[in-house]
Structure 1
Amino acid sequence: METINWGIIGCGDVTEKKSGPAFNKVPSSKLVAVMRRDADKAADYAARHQVSKWYSDANELLNDEEVNAIYVATPPSSHLDYAIAALQKGYPVYVEKPVTLNAKQAQQLADAVQHYNGRLIVAHYRRRLPIFLKIKALLEQYAIGDVRTVQLRLWQSRKPALVTKGSPNWRTQPELSGGGYFHDLAPHQLDLMLYFFGEPVHYQGFGLNQARANEADDHISGSILFKSNVVVNGSWCFNVAETENIDRCEMIGSEGSISFAVFGNSVTLKNKDGEQILDFEQPENIQLPMINSMVGYLNNEEPNPCTIEEAVTLMKIIDAFSTKIA
């Protein structure tokens, strides 16, 4: 098995615990270089994480002969350019979510993957967490019969507890993030819907800026109809009182229900056998199972855990849900 020597472009907060350390915990994987435009911060990251090389220029990292794979972990506004630059050099690429600012850019990236005959994986890492693998298995086993409707709610205060607080809040600058907190958090939820239910045939929604605390919309609503006739309704609001915070997904079927928090650790199953609460322990580095699967893919041992084509579909849904009406 070939060792995948990773270079990270954008060694910011998301890489501190969620992903960065995991590259050295997966067999046949090693983190060998990191890049951040702030040289002091790049050097500090490398020292703290025992990474042998650091750069403040992405081109220097891309020309490092030891590196043979790239992880793009910058804000979304630069995902497209960095990913294409890596593909041009023949590197496989792992890209943070959302994969780009919008569906048009996502399609440009998909076209580049095809043009360069490259390999690209999108960091929808919840697909590989045990809690969501269990939910998928329950659905496939018809534990709640045929799924009729799914109700998604993510309501948070103006400073969501779910968001990393260590860096300047680029998440509420649409030119950097694509939108607001919705663009940062909803990809996890909506990608799981695609993972669970397959091909969507119709989707629509709207977004508005109710509180006008910044330039980003803070209230988004949307619906998806899947080919399987499953209907998903979602509500995202980032201007509620802290006492009203909620993260809830309810799947109602013909013979029961499954409910859970997308950013939580337990699942409640109700059916003819009664009620069960299933608890899960998340990995210390939450992207580790995804990185393990990705390394397997790059060594031709398993399929791509999340393709750019799937991410294009997701971005089309996000764009539709973000249609401005006010």
Structure 2
Amino acid sequence: VAVIGREVSRAAAFATSHGIGWSSSNPTDLVGEVDAVYVATPHSSHSEVAVVLLGAGVPVLCEKPMAVNAPQAQQMVDVARSSGAFLMEAMWTRHLPVFGVFRRWIDEGRVGEIRVVEASLGFSAPYDPTHRLWAPGLAGGSLLDVGIYPLTLAELAFGTQPVSFDAEAELSPDGVDARLSVVANYSAGGSARLSSAINTHLVPNGQIIGTKGIIEIPNFWRAEQMALISLSGEKVDEVHEPHQVNGFEYQIIEVARCLEVGAAESPVVPWVWSLTMAELMDEIRSRIGVAYPCDREPL
């Protein structure tokens, strides 16, 4: 186990506090030394660090969002494909056992045709223009930090990205989205009402409303339980899947499985999913007027 950080002293301190014997500030020091790397830097440097590692053949689990924009995400996939290195976006929600049952309920028709998906996730963070949540240079804002979770729940429910959407946002003084609301429409005829915020607490529940029933998921982004409710309000079925550790273990198990069989990508979070999600978030940012310095930088 090794730790890489932007500052040598902070990386060393983190390593010491967690009983890790090796640290550095240079990602290339990891080449040939580790089985895989988890990239958990601020959003703005995900692609920069990952491309270096992938180009050297190092498997990468990259924190969500995999990249700030779609061109960056495409570059990461292209480099991974060229080098043969494993790459997966760390959208841990998709690995949770609850969502295996979730898809089964939907595929079995237990909720009927999905009409509406509702999901929100938000918290109140003090405004600090230098903090990663608020700084445009670090790709701050609610969409990339927590808005990707409601978008993911809607995609899990409908099995596809929206065909159209409307979006509105409250922007910070520096131009990142402090609060975001998206109403999306899907090819099957359903819609989703999705919200995120970094300046307001939002109840983190998900609800899928169909013609035969309703799925309710408390704390959907880290789901450990879920209930199927009839249209008359009676509980028909429920699932309880407590995390073995903290919920991250399921994506780690999947990375290990992929590496063991020599897979370059995971079917749980395939490259095409990350690319289409990046494209959707680019379009949402375009609609609400949020741009980052790295959007203008050459790859």
Normalised by the size of structure 1, how large is the TM-score? 0.76
Please say if 1:262 is aligned against 2:209: no
Q: CA deviation at 1:112?
A: 2.1
Residue in structure 1 matched with residue 250 of structure 2 by the alignment: 289
Q: Structure 1: any 5+ residue segments left out of the alignment? A: 1-31, 161-167
The secondary structure found in structure 2 opposite 1:172 is coil
- Alpha carbons 1:204, 1:317 under 8 Å: kept: no
Q: Give the number of equivalent residue pairs.
A: 282
- Alpha carbons 2:163, 2:186 under 8 Å: kept: yes
- Alpha carbons 2:150, 2:195 under 8 Å: kept: no
Q: CA deviation at 1:35?
A: 0.7
The secondary structure found in structure 1 opposite 2:220 is coil
Q: CA deviation at 1:90?
A: 1.2
Residue in structure 2 matched with residue 233 of structure 1 by the alignment: 193
| In structure 1, distance between residues paired with 2:260 and 2:157 | 26
Q: Structure 2: any 5+ residue segments left out of the alignment? A: 291-299
CA deviations on 1:103-122 (whole Å, 9 max, x unpaired) are 22212222222333332111
Residue in structure 2 matched with residue 143 of structure 1 by the alignment: 110
The secondary structure found in structure 1 opposite 2:288 is coil
- Alpha carbons 1:34, 1:61 under 8 Å: kept: no
- Alpha carbons 2:147, 2:197 under 8 Å: kept: no
Could you tell me which of 50, 60, 70 is aligned with 1:93?
60
Greater mean alpha carbon deviation, residues 139-148 or residues 265-274: 265-274
CA deviations on 1:117-176 (whole Å, 9 max, x unpaired) are 33211101111112222222221222212212212233543459xxxxxxx730221221
Going from structure 1 to structure 2, the CA distance change for 1:159 and 1:205 (only over 3 Å counts) comes to farther
Please say if 1:46 is aligned against 2:15: yes
| In structure 1, distance between residues paired with 2:151 and 2:180 | 13
| In structure 1, distance between residues paired with 2:164 and 2:69 | 16
Please say if 1:324 is aligned against 2:264: no
The secondary structure found in structure 1 opposite 2:163 is strand
Please say if 1:171 is aligned against 2:133: yes
Greater mean alpha carbon deviation, residues 118-127 or residues 102-111: 102-111
Residue in structure 2 matched with residue 253 of structure 1 by the alignment: 210
The secondary structure found in structure 1 opposite 2:47 is helix
Residue in structure 2 matched with residue 209 of structure 1 by the alignment: 170
CA deviations on 1:188-211 (whole Å, 9 max, x unpaired) are 23223333432325133334335x
| In structure 2, distance between residues paired with 1:80 and 1:96 | 10
| In structure 2, distance between residues paired with 1:71 and 1:325 | 31
RMSD across aligned positions (CA): 2.8
- Alpha carbons 2:39, 2:61 under 8 Å: kept: yes
Residue in structure 1 matched with residue 179 of structure 2 by the alignment: 219
Residue in structure 1 matched with residue 36 of structure 2 by the alignment: 69
Greater mean alpha carbon deviation, residues 180-189 or residues 41-50: 41-50
Q: CA deviation at 1:216?
A: 1.5
| In structure 1, distance between residues paired with 2:55 and 2:107 | 39
Task: Give aligned-pair identity as a percent.
Answer: 25
The secondary structure found in structure 2 opposite 1:192 is helix
Q: CA deviation at 1:220?
A: 1.8
Could you tell me which of 136, 143, 146 is aligned with 1:185?
146
| In structure 2, distance between residues paired with 1:207 and 1:159 | 22
Q: CA deviation at 1:218?
A: 1.8
Q: CA deviation at 1:301?
A: 7.7
| In structure 2, distance between residues paired with 1:158 and 1:46 | 27
Normalised by the size of structure 2, how large is the TM-score? 0.83
Could you tell me which of 25, 50, 57 is aligned with 1:83?
50
Q: CA deviation at 1:82?
A: 1.2
* Alignment map for 1:115-134 (pairs within 5 Å): 115-134=82-101
Going from structure 1 to structure 2, the CA distance change for 1:298 and 1:36 (only over 3 Å counts) comes to same
- Alpha carbons 2:70, 2:278 under 8 Å: kept: yes
The secondary structure found in structure 2 opposite 1:200 is coil
- Alpha carbons 2:142, 2:179 under 8 Å: kept: no
| In structure 2, distance between residues paired with 1:230 and 1:208 | 23
| In structure 1, distance between residues paired with 2:53 and 2:120 | 37
The secondary structure found in structure 2 opposite 1:247 is coil
Residue in structure 1 matched with residue 273 of structure 2 by the alignment: 310
